[in-house]
Structures are given as C-alpha cells and as structure tokens.
Amino acid sequence: MVFVQVCVGSSCHLKGSQDIVELLEQSAAEYGIADDIVLSGSFCIGKCNRIGVTVLVNDDVHVGITRENFREFFKKNILELVEQERK
C-alpha cells in the first residue's frame, strides 16, 4: 500500500492542492491502482515553496507539484512504487 498525503494548508490550497487531489484520483483510476493507494489530505507538512503543492508519498516529501509536472511526478513516485509492491 502506498500512502499519499496532499498538503491542504492555506499556502498549498492557494497553489492548487484541490487540483492535485483530483489529478491523483483520476490517475489512480486510469492506471487501475486506486485500491493500492491511500489518499488523504494533511495540514501543513512544513515544506512550503513558492511553486506548487507539497505531497508526502510514504515517507518522502515532494515539493512544487503542479498541474504541469503532475504526470511525471505521478509516474515516477507513485505508479512505480505500486508496481514494485505488486511484484
């Protein structure tokens, strides 16, 4: 199981955390991994930046996630983890 927490604190909210949550839900369904991830919101993770949203995947913090770089982030940091766990 891969645990994904999206920061929904005020700074990340203004940078599009709701969009990232929706993209995560859509991508998980598209790749058939919705049952392999636990998606939740989190108050401030403490790694704010000026570019995008902070996302915690298991114990790894990823900063600056935007609609533009989401697909690459998802494939590299979530999809690959799920595929590794399925082996």
Residue 20 is assigned to a structural domain of this protein: yes
Q: Select from 5, 14, 19, 87 the least CA-distant residue to 54.
A: 5
* pTM for this model (two decimals): 0.92
* Residue 86 in domain: no
Q: Is residue 55 part of a domain?
A: yes
- Per the CB < 8 A criterion, the answer to whether 13 and 68 are in contact is no
Task: Tell me the CATH number at 71.
Answer: 3.40.30.10
pLDDT value of residue 63? 96
Is 87 part of a structural domain of the chain? Answer: no
Does 62 fall in a domain? yes
pLDDT score, position 86: 86
Average pLDDT estimate for 69-86:
96
- Regarding predicted confidence, which is higher, 20 or 48? 20
Q: Are 4 and 34 in contact (CB under 8 A)?
A: no
Per DSSP, what are the bridge partners of residue 56?
Answer: 5, 61
Count the domains in the chain. 1
Structural domain boundaries, residue 52: 2-81
32-76: per-residue pLDDT in tens?
999 999 999 999 888 888 899 999 999 999 999 999 999 999 999
What does the alpha-carbon distance between residue 34 and residue 26 come to, in Å, rounded to a whole number? 9
Asked if residue 48 is part of any domain, the answer here is: yes
Contact, 1 vs 37, CB < 8 A? Answer: yes
